[in-house]
Amino acid sequence: MNPSTNTDRPGDRALILVDLQNDFLPGGALAVTEGDQVIPVANRLMDDFEVIVATQDWHPPDHGSFAANHPGKQPYERIDLNGLPQVLWTVHCVQGTPGADFAPGLRVDRITKVFRKGTDPEIDSYSGFYDNGHRKSTGLGEWLREQGVKRLTLCGLATDYCVKFTALDALVEGFEVTLHLPASRGVELAPGDVDEAVAEMRSNGVIIED
């Protein structure tokens, strides 16, 4: 078939797989309930896309989001980290450790490019586009535009943190954004956090696919 007439996998769309990493799966350091259930769904979704990007949470051991790096603080407490509100987490996705690896069974051979985030110990980075202070870009937006991408489908972990902030930044970057809920799960620190995150994404213009 002439590629210009093939509308099955149009080139102006990309799939963004958010943080499908061992530490966010059941048994991992920052486990998301049912996190493993999104892997087969994400694998199937990949068949519909030509351009597939994965984000990877990639922290140095001294990262400021780890409760262990703040004497006397416990995971899930909230602090001020260099002027920004920060939830403290268990030590997770440390660079080069198995917990930071992509989930077993994920079709990594189909991933076009990986964008790593959370590498600066002074600031966290939930979004795949920018750190939480919008100070530095990961290059994701620029790269997508270079590919001619205009529409994004997002899925992954966690719906109420990294997926949400990636989706909201994607809108500001001018992309049409769809969230694929069957391939997403949330941390849900407080009951209702996922529903609230989905409502916030929807009210900002994200298309919710369930």
Catalytic residues: 19, 117, 162
Q: Are strands 84-87 and 78-81 parallel, antiparallel or unpaired?
A: antiparallel
* Calpha distance 118→127 (Å, rounded): 9
Count of positions on this chain that bind ligand VGL (CB under 6 A): 8
Q: Is 162 in the site for ligand VGL (CB under 6 A)?
A: yes
Q: Choose from ligand VGL, Zn ion, none: what does 157 bind? Cβ within 5-8 Å by kind.
A: ligand VGL
Nearest in space to 59 (alpha carbons), one of 106, 123, 136 = 123
Tell me how far CA of residue 201 lies from CA of 108, 110, 169, in angstroms. 27, 27, 10
Which of 38, 123, 154, 157 touches ligand VGL (CB under 6 A)?
157
| Min CB(156)–Zn ion separation in Å | 13
Q: Is 19 in the site for Zn ion (CB under 5 A)?
A: no
Q: Is 169 in the site for ligand VGL (CB under 6 A)?
A: no
Nearest in space to 170 (alpha carbons), one of 10, 9, 13, 24 = 13
* Calpha distance 55→14 (Å, rounded): 13
Which of 57, 131, 160, 169 touches Zn ion (CB under 5 A)?
57
Q: Please give the residues from 136 up to 195 whose contact with Zn ion meets the rule CB under 5 A.
A: none
- For binding to ligand VGL (CB under 6 A), which residues are involved? 19, 24, 57, 89, 157-158, 161-162
